[in-house]
Structure 1
Amino acid sequence: MAEPTPALAETLRQIETLDTSERPLVVCDVDEVALHFIAHLEEHLESLGLAFLSHDYKLTGNIADRNGAPLPADEIKGLLQTFFDTWTHRQQPVEGAPQALRRLSQDADIVFLTNLPGAWNRDTRARTLSQHDMQYPVITNTGPKGGAVAALAAGRPGPVVFIDDSPQNIRSVQTTLADCILIHFVADKRFFATSDTIAGVHLKTDDWGAVEAYISRCLSD
C-alpha cells in the first residue's frame, strides 16, 4: 500500500492564507478539468513540429518529433514549462465548468489546486480563471496532491470532494485522505476513453453536468 503523501512547505504556506471554514469543500484541479489543456497543448506541439503518438493518457514517451522519435523526459519537462509560460493566459474553460462551480459554491467552498510549473504563473492562472467566471482561491503544488488536500480538509466536518484528471493525484488523495469523495474528470473525450479506471473512485466522467449532480447529492445527504 502506498504511503500518505506529505504536503510541500510552499503549498502549506499558501493554504495557511485561506480563511478557516466549516463548510463542505470542493478541491478542483485546473488543467483538463476547469480549463482545457490537451487541445491547447496539441496546438503548441504542432507549432513546434511535434505531435502526440497516441491518445494514451501520458506525456512522457507519447510526444514525438517529425521523425516519430519520442522526446526524452527532460525535454518534455522543458516543453511543458514553455507551454505554461506562453499559454496560461490563453486557456479556455471546459464547457459547463464555470456554471457548475458557481452553483456548487452556494453550498460549498471551492478551491483550485493546480500543479503549475513556475510560481510566477500562479497570478496569471488566477486571472485567467477569474476572466472565465471562476473566481476561487488558487493553490499551486508540485507532485502528488494528497498532502495538500488533507491540509485543505483539516478541521472541516463536512464532505470533501476532489476532482482531478491525474490517476497519480487521485491515488495520492485516496491514500492520504481516506474519506474524500473522488471524481476522475478528463475533458478531452479521446484521452478520457483511454484513461485508467481507478478502484474506489466515486465518479469518472467528462461531463460537468454529471459532476454537479453527483456533488449536489453528496452535499444533500
Structure 2
Amino acid sequence: MPEPTQVLPEVLSQIHALPVSSRPLIICDVDEVILHLIAHLEDYLHARELAFLKYEYRLTGNIGRQDGQQPLSSDDVRRLLLEFFDEVSHSQDMVPGAGDALNALAADWDVILLTNLPGGHNKPAREKLLAGLGIAFPLLTNSGPKGGAVAALSRGRPEPVVFIDDSPTNHESVHATLPSAVQIQFIADARFLNATEKADHIDLLSGDWQETAAFIGAILQGSSRNHQNG
C-alpha cells in the first residue's frame, strides 16, 4: 500500500484562500471526469502519427508511434503533454451530464475541483472554459498524487468527503492518506473504463454522471438516517 502523501505548499496556500465551511465536501477531478481528455489526446497523438499502445492507465511507456510498439521516452511524453495542454486547455469538451450533476449536488454539498496541471500555467484557461460551461466551482491545481491535498481540504469538515477521479494512482494516494473518503473512480472513455478493474478501496467505478450523482445523493440520505437512528 502506498505511503500517505503530504500536501504541497503551493496547494496548501490555495486551500487556505477558500472560505471556511462546515458542509459535506465533494472533491472532483477535471480531466476525463468533467472534461474529456483521452479523446482529445488521442486526436492530438494521431495527428502526430502517435497512438496509445494499450488502453490502460499510464502515459509513460504507453504512447508510441502508430507504425510500431516502441514507446516514447518519459521526457518526450512529458514534453508532449505540456504542448497538448497548451493547445487544448481552452477548448476541451464537457463529459455529458457533468455540469448538471455537479450543480444539482451543490445544493447540499460544497464542490471543489482539484486538477493536476503541469506547472499550473493553464489554470486561467481552464477556469474560463469551465465557467463558460456553467461550472463555476473553486479550482485548485496540484501536481503528483492527490492524497495530501484531499486530506488537507477535508480538515475541519464533517464527513462524508467524496473524492472523484479517474486515476488509480490518485485513488491509491487518497486511500493511504484519508481512508475514510468515499472514492469514486470516474472514467469517461468507455475503452479505458472497461479495461479498469475495480480496486477494493473504490466505492463506485463509473463513466456515467447520472449513476454517479444518484450514488452521491444516497450517501447523505444514508448518513441522515444513521444520525436519526443514533
Return the TM-score normalized by structure 1.
Answer: 0.97
Matched, 1:105 2:106: yes
Shift of the alpha carbon at 1:66? 4.1
Q: Which residue of structure 1 lines up, in the alignment, with residue 72 of structure 2?
A: 71
Instruction: Give the match for residue 209 of structure 2.
Output: 208
**Separation of aligned partners in 1, 2:67 and 2:176:** 41
Q: Which amino acid aligns with 2:181?
A: C
Could you list the structure 1 runs, at least 4 aligned residues long, displaced by more than 2 angstroms after superposition: none
RMSD: 1.0
Whole-Å Cα distance in 2 between the matches of residues 157 and 119 of structure 1? 29
- Paired with 2:95 and 2:45, the residues of 1 have a C-alpha distance of 20
Greater gyration radius: 2
Provide the C-alpha distance between the structure 1 equivalents of 2:108 and 2:128, rounded to a whole number of angstroms.
24
Once the two structures are TM-superposed, the CA of residue 48 in structure 1 deviates from its matched residue by 1.3
Q: Which residue in the other structure is 1:158 paired with?
A: 159
SS of residue paired to 1:111: strand
Please state how far the C-alpha of 1:160 moved relative to its aligned partner. 0.4
Cα distance in 2, alignment partners of residues 56 and 113 from structure 1? 22
Q: Is the 8 A contact 2:120 2:142 kept in 1?
A: no
Q: Do 1:22 and 1:158's aligned partners in 2 also have CA atoms closer than 8 Å?
A: no
Instruction: Name 2:8's counterpart in structure 1.
Output: 8
Instruction: Tell me the TM-score normalized by structure 2.
Output: 0.93
- Mapped partners of 2:62, 2:2: distance in 1: 26
Say which SS state the counterpart of residue 162 (structure 1) adopts: strand
Instruction: Please give the per-residue CA displacement for 1:126-176, whole angstroms capped at 9, x wherever unaligned.
Output: 111111111000000000000000111011013100000000100111111
Q: Which secondary structure state, in structure 2, belongs to the residue aligned with residue 60 of structure 1?
A: coil
Aligned to 1:142: 143
Matched position secondary structure for 1:2: coil
Over 3 Å counting, the alpha-carbon distance change for 1:108 and 1:71 in structure 2 is same
| Most deviating of 52-61 and 29-38 | 52-61
The match for 1:41 is: 41
Aligned counterpart, 2:20: 20
Runs of at least 5 residues in structure 1 that lack an aligned partner in the other structure = none
Q: 1:185 is matched with which residue?
A: 186
Structure 2: state its 5+ residue gaps: 223-230
8 A contact 1:32–1:187 mirrored in 2: yes
TM superposition shift of 1:67: 3.3
CA deviations on 1:27-69 (whole Å, 9 max, x unpaired) are 0000000000000001111121111122122212211124322
- Map of 2:173 onto structure 1: 172
Residues 109 and 167 of structure 1, relative CA distance in 2, 3 Å threshold: same
